[in-house]
Structure 1
Amino acid sequence: DMLRRKINDTKGSLPSGANMPVVRDDFGDVFGMFYAITNDGYSEREMNKYIELLKREVQNIDGIAAVEVYGLQKECINIELLQEKMANLGVHPVEVIATLNGQNEATYSGYFLSGDHRIRVSVNDRYKNVDDISQLLLQGHEKDQLRLSDIASITMGVEEPIRNEMFFDGQKAYGFAVAALSGNDITKLGKQVDDKMEQMKETLLPTGIDFNKVFYQPERVEDALGAFLENLMLSIAIVVVVLMFAMGFKSGVIIGVNLFVIVFGTFLVLNNFDGTLQRVSLGAFILAMGMLVDNAIVIIDGILVDKKRGLGRTAALTSVGKRTAMPLLGATLIAILAFYPIFLSPDTAGVYVRDLFIVLAVSLMLSWILSLTLVPIHAGFSLFRERRIMFKLKNKRGKNSNIAKQESSAEKEKEKIKEEEEKDPFDTPSYRMLRKVLQWVLCHKTTSIAIAAILVAASLFSYQFLPQGFFPDMEYNQLYIEYKLPEGTKSETVKKDLKLLSEHLMERDDVTHITTSIGATPTRYNLVRSVAIPSMSYGELIVDFKSPKAAVQS
């Protein structure tokens, strides 16, 4: 507001004929829904009317920040002075220009008194159409009066030279860009915009006007989130399968169910606190996948050990939680606080990845809570099923003829469980192998420390070969080509060159669409998209490919 007020204060000091300064505080808006509107031979005036109608209807949708139109030519009235007639009638061009400039000036025309009333005098001499201008009276050198149509040809047209033009696959088009307000679901908002435009196409707009998507962020967001969700589900499945082989089928199922509850519980918490589902928040789950199962693994392993040691069902399910609850909480808080500086970062990185800390903090705390509550409950139903079956068989004694046989089977099963409980739970091949490795490391301290130091040095040396980047490259099936000629080149030359270039590119099998822009960048439809300085010697091509791989190979 302060900048706007200061610029308004300087308007009075500008020279005559200078354009009024414009303050654009929405320059950083991203118009993620960018359409090319084509038509079947309608005039500029007709398209101006239809596009303004479309713009007004789309702006009324809740959540829309702004709508921009590119390539729509402004109508103007062309006055071509005829030199021969002006010479014969004695009219100078300066006199014509002075008369035109003074015609629409707002001047105080005064008033007159009528009895007790003062009546204002109003002179309405503004232009309304081409005929009004053609009937404008001029003063000749011989003190005679003549009309503007006597010395000039007056026609309706568009401003020339044309500063901005757009083509879609070689056909004249108009850019229609829609920006969403921050905090809205772009996928839902995109569907509303699509529905509104299709509704207007069927009811209010004439046949022959089509909408073509040049850049449509809702589809790209859905594709990106779909791919991330697939990777997330795949990572969960891999973790569960590995745990099934390492800890047994039942233990793997328990931890897998716990992991699913953590993920979807985090989604619920994020929704209640206005969180967003995007690449960073989904990537945080994949990053924390190993940490999310740590607490459950500790609890399950402790339950299995206590079961083999012969503890009762209740004691086996609760004792490990009593012993490890606070140590596990400390480890969880340390893992959360390790990412806390990212949340506090004041620069651009903090803005982008702040959801990383939120997702990690919520999911890790849920993993700690569920490992002490859900995991023991689930383990009680799955790991102690044999004892519950024997208890039911005792209650059914005497109810059927095969009870003796069932009791004998139950007794054998009981003896088998008792034999397993009497065994040392750590007397297994894997634990014996681990014990040997630990003994060797403890007995050869110098060698162990040297090996660890060598591995750390090798890791630091290899770090320089890793590609550096804040975010991985986006997989887009679209690229843009900037075309710049020396300043002062006519826009018709740029238009002709880009037409030849687009026709050549359309011959390729991997190219689907080409959008041509003359004079400027149509709009900022992507956050990382650079915006060129408007110039009549500038043009660009937005090329769509069948796949991101084809775009990279091109």
Structure 2
Amino acid sequence: MNIAEYAIDRKVITVVMTLVLLVGGGISYTELSRLEDPEFTIKEALVVTHYPGATPLEVEQEVTDLLETEIQRMGQLEEIASVSKAGLSIITVTIKDQYDKFTLPGVWEQLRRKVHDAQRQLPPGAEASRVLDDFGDVFGVLLAITGDGFSDKEIYEYAKFLRRELLLVRDVAKVDLWGVQPEAIYVEFSRARLAQFGISQAEVYGKLRQQNTVVAAGRLQVGGDYVRIDSPVGIGAVRDIENLILREAGAGGAKLIYLRDVARVSREYLSPPAQVLRFNGAPAVSLAISTVTGGSVTELGADVAARLETLRAQTPVGLEVHPVYMQPEIVAEAIGTFTVNLMQAIAIVIVVLLIFMGLRAGLIIGGVLVITVIATFILMRLTDVALERVSLGALVIALGMLVDNAIVVTEGMLVRIQAGVRRLQAAREAVGQTLWPLCGATVIAILAFAAIGLSQDDTGEFCLSLFQVMLFSLTLSWIIAVTITPLLCYWLLPGPAAEGAAPTALKDVYGGPLFSRYRRLLEACLRRRWLTLGVMAALLSAAVYGFFQVQGSFFPKSTMSKFMIHYWLPEGTDIRKTFADVQVLEQAVLADDR
């Protein structure tokens, strides 16, 4: 008894497993993560070190060379590049392709240890080095907060409130603020007043450093208990800083010298600003929200929108939250388009099968195709393969190959049944003769995509889901072809009613007009074999030539209804000059009705 006989003999088991595949596939489809593009890992990190006051040559010799020497001891290193500027060292560390998202965190931790070990050798005045390895995070939701009549500080405080609330939303990994105008307390000294009282700036700096330092004040024993003593709260307001006592003067310290006596203290926004953000001509602060690894960006968008709606009652009148970029909407539209294309492709395949294979055979193969596609979603869910452009594209590519195994088995049974062979015997013979040849053909088809998915470079990581979906769908197509397909043919294909009836005389099932014309074409090609080979060689040459004429593009052209203007000024230009120029561009864009 081969596997086809077993599937037919155990009809209940086969039917139940088919229903499990259909129901499980439908549930898995609803639970699959949805992304615009596959996730991939950026295998680069930056080591940034500030060395205020140093020339580019001093930065290179005293900071960059030292750090590079330490980092180059890492065995995982592929390449290292550095830029030394006045007061700044930037080192780009590239890791070998063989390290993926599971092993890279350990590599970055080793990099941090190497950089930390080199800190004691840095020159005085150099700040601690920072290792940046998360600049590859993708922010799928970008919001802008504006407020007519609200100060930058008030907008910032509300943005901090939103960030705290949105971090509690499911699948939110990080919420970053951008465009914040931080405040600073400026202390402007009067040299004449300092000289009059005999106070140096270093003395004032020392007094300021001593403020707000948290120290243990001890504890008192009260009966059988100890009571902790809290130190007084330090200075915080501008008035407190102005009333800071610098020195006692006069006989017996009768006169006190305050900071306000020698300096002007004010609270202002940091100038010049480090970054400026505007939305539709108004000052704004943005919130950038990223998704956790493996999360669904469409669900994230729905949850964030629901949370913002809940917080609307706590939003001050006049403060508004505007969507700048909503990847969940783009992903939903892209996946919807791909899903429609997939369904259209399945329908086209089924229609073609109905035309050339007949009604019953076409319905059988079409049904097997649908079962295979739906069952593929189960394996995608189990292996955390998301629905995105590459995985859905792989399903479309696989459609033409998914029906091959079912066609071979169905046609094999159809020929035998029409020749008078019993259905069960026809299933046994058709599957028995083609079981391993079909397996080999399926493996070869899978291996054709293995080079893409198993490559260790960035392309392999990005296109991994292509190989995974082809592996899952083609493997399932072979399994279903030798199990479910024989049962469907056993039930649906026409043939002798009596299973015990003797086979009738063999019928030439290839005697129809289509097969007859095809036979004559083959015979003509065999008689003129050299001409046939010449034509095939010419077609091959034309195909190779045409291949090199096709324009290459890894990504299709973007259809996003947004564009970016990159405006660069010479290094060292004041950001306020850049801001003034960008305002002119901003007004021109706002005045354009398109």
TM-score with structure 2 length normalisation? 0.72
Q: Which has the higher contact order (CA 8 A, sep 6+)?
A: 2
CA contact (8 A) 1:67 1:176 kept: yes
Distance 1:465 1:306 in 2: 47
Q: Secondary structure at the match of 1:481?
A: coil
Quote the offset at 1:200 in angstroms: 2.2
Distance 2:429 2:358 in 1: 21
Pair 1:193-2:304 in alignment: yes
Rg larger for:
1
Pair 1:482-2:566 in alignment: yes
Pair 1:79-2:163 in alignment: no
Distance 2:491 2:229 in 1: 95
CA contact (8 A) 1:295 1:367 kept: yes
CA contact (8 A) 2:190 2:263 kept: yes
Q: In the alignment, which of 228, 234, 240 is matched to residue 132 of structure 1?
A: 240
Kindly tell me: are residues 494 and 236 of structure 1, through their superposed partners in 2, closer, same or farther at Cα, counting changes over 3 Å?
Answer: same
Residue by residue, what CA displacement relative to the aligned partner does 1:488-518 show, whole Å, maximum 9, x if unpaired? Answer: 33322222221221221223333xxxxxxxx
Kindly tell me: are residues 214 and 364 of structure 1, through their superposed partners in 2, closer, same or farther at Cα, counting changes over 3 Å?
Answer: same
CA contact (8 A) 1:90 1:140 kept: no
CA contact (8 A) 2:420 2:496 kept: no
What's 1:335 paired with?
Answer: 445
Distance 1:10 1:105 in 2: 31
Quote the offset at 1:326 in angstroms: 2.0
CA contact (8 A) 1:89 1:140 kept: no
What's 1:32 paired with?
Answer: 140
Q: In the alignment, which of 348, 351, 360 is matched to residue 461 of structure 2?
A: 351
CA contact (8 A) 1:90 1:142 kept: no
Q: In the alignment, which of 175, 183, 201 is matched to residue 94 of structure 1?
A: 201
Kindly tell me: are residues 270 and 189 of structure 1, through their superposed partners in 2, closer, same or farther at Cα, counting changes over 3 Å?
Answer: same
Quote the offset at 1:41 in angstroms: 2.3
What's 2:511 paired with?
Answer: 427
Q: Which runs of 5+ in 2 are unaligned?
A: 1-108, 219-227, 499-503
Distance 2:240 2:547 in 1: 77
Structure 1 vs Structure 2 CA RMSD: 3.3
CA contact (8 A) 1:72 1:174 kept: yes
Residue by residue, what CA displacement relative to the aligned partner does 1:209-266 show, whole Å, maximum 9, x if unpaired? Answer: 2222222222222222111111111111111111111122222222111111100000
What is the 5 A alignment of 1:85-234? 86=193, 90=197, 94=201, 97-98=204-205, 100-104=207-211, 126-139=234-247, 145-202=256-313, 204-234=314-344
Give, as a single letter, the amino acid of the residue that structure 1 aligns with 2:429: S
What's 2:591 paired with?
Answer: 507
Distance 2:285 2:583 in 1: 16
Quote the offset at 1:19 in angstroms: 4.8
Q: Secondary structure at the match of 1:72?
A: coil
Quote the offset at 1:40 in angstroms: 2.9
Kindly tell me: are residues 198 and 12 of structure 1, through their superposed partners in 2, closer, same or farther at Cα, counting changes over 3 Å?
Answer: farther
Q: In the alignment, which of 436, 451, 469 is matched to residue 520 of structure 2?
A: 436
Distance 1:122 1:265 in 2: 65
Give, as a single letter, the amino acid of the residue that structure 2 aligns with 1:64: V
Kindly tell me: are residues 163 and 193 of structure 1, through their superposed partners in 2, closer, same or farther at Cα, counting changes over 3 Å?
Answer: same
Quote the offset at 1:482 in angstroms: 0.9
Give, as a single letter, the amino acid of the residue that structure 2 aligns with 1:473: K
Pair 1:67-2:175 in alignment: yes
Pair 1:458-2:569 in alignment: no
Distance 1:499 1:51 in 2: 24
Kindly tell me: are residues 81 and 362 of structure 1, through their superposed partners in 2, closer, same or farther at Cα, counting changes over 3 Å?
Answer: same
Kindly tell me: are residues 17 and 154 of structure 1, through their superposed partners in 2, closer, same or farther at Cα, counting changes over 3 Å?
Answer: farther
Pair 1:244-2:351 in alignment: no
Pair 1:468-2:552 in alignment: yes
Kindly tell me: are residues 449 and 42 of structure 1, through their superposed partners in 2, closer, same or farther at Cα, counting changes over 3 Å?
Answer: same
Q: Which runs of 5+ in 1 are unaligned?
A: 112-119, 392-417, 511-554
Distance 2:383 2:268 in 1: 55
Distance 1:331 1:121 in 2: 80
Q: Secondary structure at the match of 1:222?
A: helix
CA contact (8 A) 2:177 2:287 kept: yes
Percent identical residues: 35
Q: Secondary structure at the match of 2:311?
A: helix
Q: In the alignment, which of 264, 274, 289 is matched to residue 384 of structure 2?
A: 274
What is the 5 A alignment of 1:530-545? none
